[in-house]
Amino acid sequence: MRFILFTCFLIFLLVGTVLPGGAVVEKKVPEASKNTIMPYFAKHFQKSFMKTHDGVEIRYAASEAADGRPALVIVDGRTEFIAKYAEILYDLKDLGFSFYIYDHRGQGESSRMLADPQKGYVKHFEDYVEDLHLFLKTVVKGNEHRSVFLLSHSMGGPVSILLERKYPGEINGMILCSPMLSVNTAPFPKFVAKVLSKAFVLVGMGKRYVIGGGPYKHDLPFENNDLTDSYARFELNRRLVEDNPKVALGSPTFRWLSEAFSAMDAITSGVSPLKVPMLLLVGEDDTVVGTKAQKAFCESQKNCSLVVLPKGKHELLMEKDQVRDGVLEHIKLFLNTYATNSSEKTAARPSLSKDSQ
């Protein structure tokens, strides 16, 4: 009898911690992160560095499946870092894919670009695109997988779009979560922020923080934040930075902002059709990048499916379960559908060779 009761108790704990499909229940995230998610990540992902053409060390983590299974590459947003995505990688583990994630230059555990490591800086937005291209060629080795997909967030969106535009055919599809195709520049109108950022760069002040910017703040309150309505995940991400302070990143510099505007303009003003299937997920309440530019972009692409998440803020992958569960279902459906379809086209898929640069 005691054994039966004990077994029932264990089942109750498991059901109360994990949702169908492997996702962790929000209220259990702090406990699950410590006892389940991070141990899983440490066991199944190998970390290393990739050196870029200009000597930048790019930190990455990889979990490779056997038999040429499809690959999913996470291209995250500004200020983000590998460990922040451990939960989503845990949630998607049952897909049986190979998984890859890396820290953009200038953030996470990759090389910082300035003497002050807190400053968000990039010399050319194109550097992000070339880093991703090199990562696909040298680490992911896309021609050894039946198919390769990108899962991007925020800044990772334009990086992914520009990658496919410059090197068409190297991926089989992309998922764009809250892509940075526009950005909230309050209290300045967008055109003023754009002119100011370019002016500061022209006069040699591109390495300065944007107006009102500064180093990473550990004490930003959850109340009225623009990123997520999930207190558990908001606090977990804060703790991850506290546990590893070197991944902290402050505000962007004028140079970064100027380059970001140029990248967004290149995508939204010169719309050209991309051949790969795309899933664009955007939160109805996203005040960081908005929804207008995202909807317009998706409508201009015949292979793009748009999903607007009610009550979703900017970080859809870090949202409350009522939003995030829907995001997960859309992601899994997209990957399962196109991984199956693209497996029949492997022979026709371009090889990621040096000749394609």
Summarised one tens digit per residue, pLDDT across range 226-243 is 999 999 999 999 999 999
- Tens digits of per-residue pLDDT, 288-318? 999 999 999 999 999 999 999 999 999 999 9
Helices 125-135 and 156-166: crossing angle in degrees, nearest 10, is 70
Is the Cβ–Cβ distance between 280 and 298 less than 8 Å?
yes
Q: Is residue 30 domain-resident?
A: no
Determine the average pLDDT of the residues in 330-342. 91
Strand partners, 63: 99
Instruction: Please check whether residue 260 lies inside any domain of the structure.
Output: yes
Is 25 inside any structural domain? no
pTM for this prediction:
0.90
Cα–Cα distance measured from residue 236 to residue 247, given in angstroms and rounded to the nearest whole number: 14
Per-residue pLDDT band at 354 (split at 50, 70, 90): very low
- For the chain, the average pLDDT equals 90
pLDDT-based confidence at residue 157 (cuts at 50, 70, 90): very high
| Structural domain contains residue 125 | yes
- The pLDDT assigned to 265 comes to 96
Q: Quote the domain boundaries for residue 78.
A: 37-346
For residue 187, cis peptide bond before it (omega within 30 degrees of 0): yes
In three state form, how does the secondary structure of the chain look?
CHHHHHHHHHHHHHHHHECCCCCECHHHHHHHHHHHHHHHHHHHCEEEEEECCCCCEEEEEEECCCCCCCEEEEECCCCCCHHHHHHHHHHCHHHCCEEEEECCCCCCCCCCCCCCCCCECCCCHHHHHHHHHHHHHHHHCHHHCCCEEEEEECCHHHHHHHHHHHCCCCCCEEEEECCCCCCCCCCCCHHHHHHHHHHHHHCCCCCCECCCCCCCCCCCCCCCCCCCCCHHHHHHHHHHHHHCHHHCCCCEEHHHHHHHHHHHHHHHCCCCCCCCCEEEEEECCCCCCCCHHHHHHHHCCCCEEEEEECCCCCCHHHCCHHHHHHHHHHHHHHHHHHHHHHHHHHHHCCCCCHHHC
Domain count, the chain: 1
pLDDT at site 342: 65
- What pLDDT score was predicted for residue 343? 56
Comparing 15-24, 46-55, 87-96, 202-211, the range with the smallest average pLDDT is 15-24
Q: Indicate whether 92 belongs to any domain.
A: yes
State pLDDT tens for residues 179-194: 999 999 999 999 999 9
| 354 located within any domain | no
**Of 130, 159, 151, 123, nearest to 51 (Cα)?**
130
64 assigned to some structural domain: yes
Is 183 a member of any domain? yes
CATH code, 315 = 3.40.50.1820
Nearest to 314 by CA among 212, 218, 219, 179: 179
